[in-house]
Structure 1
Amino acid sequence: MQVKGDALAHKPDVRPAERVWSGRGRPPTRTEPRYPKTAVSLVEHVRAAGRDAAQTITWREGLKGAMSSQLVFLRVRPAGHRVARDADGLLPERWLIAQWPDEQAEPVKYWLSSLPATTSHADLIRYGKIRWRIEHDYRELKTGLGLDHFEGRSWTGWHRHVTLVTAAHVFITELRLDPKAAAPA
């Protein structure tokens, strides 16, 4: 998922401290451990790794050749009160991917991924960059196939409309991906 650079995260080796009750006042009601206040922005994590950590990765072939960029891959633990914890009560360890082109002073895009630690860097960025395909398909559904043209008032009518538009999109996609289809004139 693409995120902003000001999102906070801990280093992967940070461990929480158990909540201790002093015996005075009300006992703590939250049972999960508390992390120290060491979370910094994703920008700071990438800066700490430095430009030397950047690798040139090619994620796909475009119309004008290979699409590639300088990318930094780090493991972090996203911080925040809305981050779901693992079964052991720890914050989950995630991939931080930052696109840092040579001509830029700072990284320009950031992604967090929950894919396993063994996932290759090329696969990570390919999945992160697939967003263009999703946006293209959505635009095609709306403008070319009429997804946004429904003006009825019933759930059944809307459901039929969306089903037909989706079936048309599947048909067009199959035609586009068919290696035996004749090239357009």
Structure 2
Amino acid sequence: MSDDTVLELCATLFSSFPRKDQRQRGEQYLRGLLTTEGRKTARNIAAHLGAPATEQTLHHFIADSTWNWQPLRAALAAHLERKTAVHAWVVRRMSIPKTGEHSVGVDRGFVPHLRQTFRGQQAFGVWLASREMSAPVDWRLVLPDQWVHDRRLRDRAGVPEEAGAERPEECAVAVALEAARRWGPRRPVLIDLRDGGVSAAVTLLSAAGVPFLLRISGTQRLSGADRAMPGFRGGPLPAQRILQLVKGVRRPVPWQDTAAGPAPSTSLAALVPVALPDSSGATPELSLLGEWTDPSRPPSALWLTGMTRQGPGPLLRLTKLTRRVDADFARVGEETGLRDYVGRSFRGWHRHMTLASAAHAAVMLSGGGSGGGSGDEYDGDYERGRPAELASA
């Protein structure tokens, strides 16, 4: 870990703090996230620093202090834009198992993307992604109904009045729109919406002028926008069926998984104009991107985009940044405490996530993004939950 990288990052992030002691606590907590073994809690960080008496001070700095995390996130995003060639924003879901029920946003129920019943928090992060590295810069916590409508729960966790209940797909789009409103430049946004919410996302992102690539399920119904498409006889049809009808126009697209190694890969890709079947009035132009890793099987990935002037090659290579993010999260994000906050408050969670994101960025900027595993286990399909013994109360 380069100390110069950490010092530069601390100077960038904590310059907005008016008090010297806040700047010192910020750097202390950030360095603790980078060097403490095991879970990154205030207690463990204080013990690692050899100053157990500072545990309460660090806890107060995260859970009860008054500093606003939004300027730090904006500063982190701007810092990464200066340091690396950001190609896209990847909105990634993060599941945080919890054994207790007091942490803000904790819920229990069947989670489609995990394909299992799950107790814990669901959150979405905006990751700035380049070919060489990725890092999260903004976060939004899914708030189930009870955390919005139960006044006792809401007050106990300090949930702000403006925060409302959201479905996960709504939260994923909202965090991208928040980032676009607060800081730029705007990059293409990649969001996995295979569980639904596609039409609403297209409407909101298009109205905000945010370029997007939305991963969709094969059952998502679309209408063809070009009656001359090979084999197309009308719609709406499932997206997978549309791509099967036009597979004669597939072309090979080379791409490289930089998170896995230098070996290049090639997929077949097709890009066809489509429309949402339930749209009315003025609608954005859309294209359906299909990828085949095995030409004899159905498409392995389907994406809906408003970037209709781009060809299938550049678009497909953009989608591979989800692999970069998944690999960096597994290799670095877990180690810098992105799932380790044990407090109960809404504001504490956001402050911890902001500094854990900064710690992740510090590792990546110091060269932590090079190398890695095969990449096959980080295909962006579904996140596996951590074992129950790692869940916090």
Counterpart code for 1:6: T
Which residue of the partner structure matches residue 44 of structure 1?
241
How far apart are 1:56 and its partner, in Å? 0.4
Is contact 1:94–1:112 with CA below 8 Å preserved after alignment?
Answer: yes
How far apart are 1:13 and its partner, in Å? 4.3
Structure 2 vs 1, CA of residues 165 and 105 (structure 1 numbering), >3 Å: closer, same or farther? closer
Is contact 1:69–1:100 with CA below 8 Å preserved after alignment?
Answer: yes
**Quick check: 1:75 aligned with 2:234?**
no
Counterpart code for 1:9: L
**Matching residue within 336, 343, 349 for 1:158:** 349
Which residue of the partner structure matches residue 309 of structure 2?
118
Give the secondary structure class of the aligned counterpart of 2:355: helix
Which residue of the partner structure matches residue 383 of structure 2?
none
**Matching residue within 335, 338, 361 for 1:144:** 335
- Percent sequence identity over matched residues? 23
**Quick check: 1:9 aligned with 2:200?**
no
Q: Give the whole-Å Cα distance in 1 for the aligned partners of 2:368 and 2:342.
A: 32
Q: Give the whole-Å Cα distance in 2 for the aligned partners of 1:64 and 1:167.
A: 27
Q: Give the whole-Å Cα distance in 2 for the aligned partners of 1:4 and 1:108.
A: 10
Give the secondary structure class of the aligned counterpart of 2:304: strand
Is contact 1:141–1:165 with CA below 8 Å preserved after alignment?
Answer: no
Structure 2 vs 1, CA of residues 178 and 137 (structure 1 numbering), >3 Å: closer, same or farther? closer
Counterpart code for 1:74: V
Structure 2 vs 1, CA of residues 155 and 6 (structure 1 numbering), >3 Å: closer, same or farther? closer
Q: Give the whole-Å Cα distance in 1 for the aligned partners of 2:273 and 2:216.
A: 15
Which residue of the partner structure matches residue 284 of structure 2?
92
Number of aligned residues: 149
Q: Give the whole-Å Cα distance in 1 for the aligned partners of 2:356 and 2:266.
A: 34
Structure 1, gaps ≥5 residues long = 15-36, 180-185
Q: Give the whole-Å Cα distance in 2 for the aligned partners of 1:157 and 1:105.
A: 47
Which residue of the partner structure matches residue 133 of structure 1?
324
Structure 2, gaps ≥5 residues long = 1-213, 228-233, 371-393
**Quick check: 1:59 aligned with 2:255?**
yes
Is contact 2:269–2:312 with CA below 8 Å preserved after alignment?
Answer: no
| Superposed structure 1 runs of 4+ greater than 6 Å apart | none
Which structure's CA Rg is the greater one?
1
Give the secondary structure class of the aligned counterpart of 2:275: strand
Q: Which has the higher helix share?
A: 2
Is contact 2:268–2:295 with CA below 8 Å preserved after alignment?
Answer: no
Q: Could you report, residue by residue, the CA deviation over 1:139-178 in whole angstroms, capped at 9, with x for unpaired residues?
A: 3455211122111123443233222211111111111279
Counterpart code for 2:303: W
Is contact 1:78–1:92 with CA below 8 Å preserved after alignment?
Answer: no
Q: Give the whole-Å Cα distance in 2 for the aligned partners of 1:113 and 1:100.
A: 17
Which residue of the partner structure matches residue 230 of structure 2?
none
How far apart are 1:48 and its partner, in Å? 2.2
Q: Could you report, residue by residue, the CA deviation over 1:106-163 in whole angstroms, capped at 9, with x for unpaired residues?
A: 3222111121x22132211012221112222333455211122111123443233222
Structure 2 vs 1, CA of residues 156 and 11 (structure 1 numbering), >3 Å: closer, same or farther? closer
Give the secondary structure class of the aligned counterpart of 1:168: helix
TM-score (norm 1): 0.68
Counterpart code for 2:268: Q
Counterpart code for 1:4: S
Is contact 1:71–1:98 with CA below 8 Å preserved after alignment?
Answer: yes
**Quick check: 1:167 aligned with 2:319?**
no
The structure, 1 or 2, with the larger RCO (C-alpha pairs under 8 Å, 6+ apart) is: 2
